[in-house]
Amino acid sequence: MKRKSESKEKEQLLDKIKLLSEKQEKDAKHLDQCLQIYHEKIALEERKLLQLLIERSKNYFLLYKSFYRSLSAEERAKLEGFLVKEIQGFLPIPELPVELKAFYEQMTRPKKTPGNRITDYIDKPQEERPKVNPPQSEELDFKTHRRRQQEEGSKEKQKAKKKNLTRLYKRLVKALHPDLELESELKVFKEEIMKRVIHAYEKRDLYELMEIEKEQIDLLPEEEEAVEEIDYCAVLEGKIEDLEQQLEHLFSNPKYSFLHRFGEQQSIDKTLLFREHEKLKEMIEAIRNLIERLKGPDAEAILLQLLLEL
């Protein structure tokens, strides 16, 4: 009765593993497709947009130089502040024109001001500085105790996994090692199986060893005692835990960092990326037209309009 119950539990766990594996594969495929769209469409337009934005800032700067003497002190300050913010958004891009870098460095050079709170703090004697109260010891003790419990639980799991891994590995080697096989065809077959066994053992992949055991059950001897020693349900639960963690952290993979600004993993779809692509194309066209106007007879009017908006 107990064995029947364990068998049912094992089947349920295997079904869950299958579902989680399928979901992981599906989610990874979807994210890979979204990443491909980003690199093939959005990234290209973003590079064009960046170059145009730098060119726009350069033209604004040239206007600032041309009309510098005719601007009031207030208008100069506004325009300088605007240009500094514009240039700051491009740092530290190598393609940024030298004249814009020089202007930015000049405008942002630190100035000594009286009553600077940071320098005041540094210059004060140690005994006059405000004291920061350390966290309560009870809170630290609680956190340390909880962390210790988590570490101990993790160690126990790793210990049990290692024990099961070794037992199952030895069982498979004993039954499937090609050197113990006399029949030539079966020997070749077992050589391939042993490669998988050794690879799984080196990776500490207990679940893969279980899969091999299940596939080659006909070649394994009936060793009831050895089979019972291995807690298969615990192994499957460990595999489920690993898959759930992998699913949870799938979107955190650095290769998907380009997609993070478009939302969470569940909310990213291809339609959103295509819309972003179209939006970028419209922005590029608008900025390109503005740059042409900044080079033409409308330049002064555009500058005055900008000052009004600022």
69-100 pLDDT tens trace: 888 999 889 999 999 998 888 888 888 888 88
Q: What is the pLDDT of residue 137?
A: 57
Question: Average pLDDT in the 196-209 region?
Answer: 86
Q: What is the pLDDT of residue 154?
A: 60
In the predicted model, what is the mean pLDDT of the chain?
A: 81
Is it the case that residue 305 has pLDDT exceeding 50? yes
Is it the case that residue 226 has pLDDT exceeding 50? no
Q: What is the pLDDT of residue 6?
A: 67
pTM, entire model: 0.63
Is it the case that residue 292 has pLDDT exceeding 90? yes
Q: How far apart are CA 307 and CA 173, in angstroms?
A: 80
Q: What is the pLDDT of residue 274?
A: 95
Q: How far apart are CA 137 and CA 245, in angstroms?
A: 32
Q: What is the pLDDT of residue 158?
A: 63
The DSSP line for 151-201 is HHHHHHHHHHHHHHHHHHHHHHHHHH-GGG--SHHHHHHHHHHHHHHHHHH
Q: What is the pLDDT of residue 203?
A: 85
* Burial of 79 (C-beta count, 10 Å sphere; 0-12/13-18/19+): buried
Highest mean predicted confidence (pLDDT) among 91-100, 222-231, 254-263: 254-263
Q: How far apart are CA 229 and CA 207, in angstroms?
A: 16
Is it the case that residue 2 has pLDDT exceeding 90? no
List C-alpha distances in Å: 193 to 119, 144, 173, 174, 180. 70, 46, 10, 13, 14
- Other Cβ atoms less than 10 A from the Cβ of 105: the count is 10
Between 279 and 112, residue with greater pLDDT: 279
Between 217 and 17, residue with greater pLDDT: 17
- Other Cβ atoms less than 10 A from the Cβ of 268: the count is 20
Check residue 109 and give left, alpha or beta (phi > 0: left; psi -120 to 50: alpha). Answer: beta
Q: What is the pLDDT of residue 55?
A: 93
What is the band of 289 on the pLDDT scale with cuts at 50, 70, 90? very high
Q: What is the pLDDT of residue 238?
A: 82
Least confident piece of the model among 29-38, 221-230, 265-274, 291-300: 221-230
What is the band of 117 on the pLDDT scale with cuts at 50, 70, 90? very low
Report helix, strand or coil for 230: coil
Question: Average pLDDT in the 103-124 region?
Answer: 63
What is the band of 157 on the pLDDT scale with cuts at 50, 70, 90? low
Report helix, strand or coil for 134: coil
Q: What is the pLDDT of residue 24?
A: 93
CA dihedral 42, 48, 51, 56 (to 10 degrees): -100
Where do we find the tokens 């009870």?
A: 138
* Burial of 135 (C-beta count, 10 Å sphere; 0-12/13-18/19+): exposed
Between 308 and 151, residue with greater pLDDT: 308
Q: How far apart are CA 92 and CA 70, in angstroms?
A: 32
